[in-house]
Amino acid sequence: MSNEFDYTKLKHVTSVDQSDREVPYNLRQSGPTKVEMLISTRVRKSPYWHLSMKAGCWRATVYNRIYHPRGYVKPEDGGAMVEYDAIVNHVTMWNVAVERQIRVKGPDAEKFTDYVITRDATKISPMRARYVILCNAYGGVLNDPILLRISKDEFWFSLSDSDIGMYLQGVNADGRFNCTVEEIDACPVQIQGPKSKALMKDLLGDQVDLDNMPFYGLAEVEVAGRSCVISQSGFSGEAGYEIYLRNATLYADDMWNAVLEAGKKHKLMVIAPAHHRRIQAGILSWGQDMDQQHNPYQCNLGYQVSLSGKGEWNKKADYVGKAALEKMGADIKAGKKPYKLQLVGFELGGKPIEDYAPDFWLISNADGGDPVGFVTSPWYHPEKKTNIAMGYVPYDGTLNANGFPKGKVGTKYKIHLPEKYSDKPGVPVDAVVVDVPFKESYNANTREVVKG
């Protein structure tokens, strides 16, 4: 008799109302699947791939069509929570070359950029960055990159996980904007943790005044004699920086090894992107917490459409998605519910969740019954000594102080955890809606999450 799980018995959960989506989230619960990743030439290896292998990377995924390291400490040695200890107490380096850099350059660079993002590109000064979103004509979130303004006529889109580079080229396929749109050989690493500034000072010397560098500030520097742009930013909620190495295919070893050398006295550790810490900070992951069929309001990004709050929309003449987004905003103000599910934060029971979830775990109402929602990003919060998560539940019309949709704090649910994390196998655990973020960030506007 075979001991292997019979995956043909898995049924798609249809009780969660996703009727406003053309392609529903796949809510089959398959658990971990024992397969080996095929490394082939169809998917790009980043300039830092061999360096990540040398640093001990033992597992990877694919992000932006690039192999992406997602684990250095093996489970038998403490796993991801050892990496968590490094980022909250010391300093870490991440290979995030998967954040492809799409450069928009030319006389109409600002005009083009302003057209494809929801916020006002004209208010971003040269050598500053911002967190932005790009939406489609229906108001769906296509990507949520960091946007770097290198100069008056040059922007870099530091991408989340989607083919937005090809989309941007398509927007300007007829040449209506006088600018070029192309991917460049600039690849970032992130330096994150409370000792990040001390490390960066040792690395850069007097090239830049880090003590007076603003959040999302940029600077031109050299690392190991190689040209880089640095920003004070990151995907963790901790203090941190990103180093964008130009001509990374040629000079990856030089920059990487210089950081390792400078980091020795600061207990630098090479780790995977700290999803445990980004969840605490309420930072979203495109493709996991949202996709192109989610609008900004339902995933706590409404402020990107209405930066002044109170439904006062950006005073831009036009941008992709403007009509759809403003109609949604007006419907919400009028008490309507223009979509089915809302992203909320939870504290939940169960055994500590100390690794990535292989499924979108299901959520039922407090009194049980069929699932009505699903978890997108769960993890264990060591300081709170409880599990936390973000996930989608039916939108009930609750608004925060700025007039943006939110979950009603205190609402109770049941979450169906796999046996590995259940207190009693087959019995869902208690969960309650709480405010996001779950832990304050070093820079409170790391992703400018609106509290409440």
pLDDT per residue rounded down to tens, the chain (452 residues): 344 556 666 778 999 999 999 999 999 999 988 889 999 999 999 999 999 999 999 999 999 999 999 999 999 999 999 999 999 999 999 999 999 999 999 999 999 999 999 999 999 999 999 999 999 999 999 999 999 999 999 999 999 999 899 999 999 999 999 999 999 999 999 999 999 999 999 999 999 999 999 999 999 999 999 999 999 999 999 999 999 999 999 999 999 999 999 999 999 999 999 999 999 999 999 999 999 999 999 999 998 986 554 555 667 789 999 999 999 999 999 999 999 999 999 999 999 999 999 999 999 999 999 999 999 999 999 999 999 999 999 999 999 888 889 999 999 999 999 999 999 988 999 999 999 999 988 876 555 543 32
pTM score of the predicted model: 0.95
Which residue, 225, 227, 223, is CA-closest to 200?
223
User: ω before 405 within 30° of 0 (cis)?
Assistant: no
CA atoms of 429 and 388, how far apart (whole Å)? 12
Helix (H) or strand (E) holding 412, with range, is: strand 412-415
Q: Is there a single domain that holds both residue 233 and residue 353?
A: no
Q: Is there a single domain that holds both residue 267 and residue 352?
A: no
Please report whether residue 11 resides in a domain: no
Q: Is there a single domain that holds both residue 223 and residue 293?
A: no
Question: 394: domain CATH number?
Answer: 2.40.30.110
Helix (H) or strand (E) holding 229, with range, is: strand 226-231
Q: Is there a single domain that holds both residue 345 and residue 227?
A: no
Please report whether residue 8 resides in a domain: no
CA atoms of 328 and 66, how far apart (whole Å)? 35
Secondary structure in 3-state letters for 361-377: CEEEECCEEEEEEEEEE
Q: Is there a single domain that holds both residue 267 and residue 288?
A: no
Please report whether residue 89 resides in a domain: yes
CA atoms of 153 and 327, how far apart (whole Å)? 32
Please report whether residue 13 resides in a domain: no
Expressed as residue numbers, the domain containing 209 is: 37-273
Question: 232: domain CATH number?
Answer: 3.30.1360.120
Dihedral, 19, 20, 23, 25 alpha carbons, nearest 10? -80
Q: Which residues contact 7 (CB under 8 A, 6 or more apart)?
A: 30
Site of tokens 């990159």: 145
Please report whether residue 401 resides in a domain: yes
Q: Is there a single domain that holds both residue 402 and residue 295?
A: yes
Please report whether residue 217 resides in a domain: yes
Looking at the 3D structure of the chain, how many domains does it have?
Answer: 2
Please report whether residue 328 resides in a domain: no
Q: Is there a single domain that holds both residue 157 and residue 212?
A: yes
Q: Which residues contact 348 (CB under 8 A, 6 or more apart)?
A: 378, 386, 387, 388, 389, 415, 417, 429, 430, 431, 432
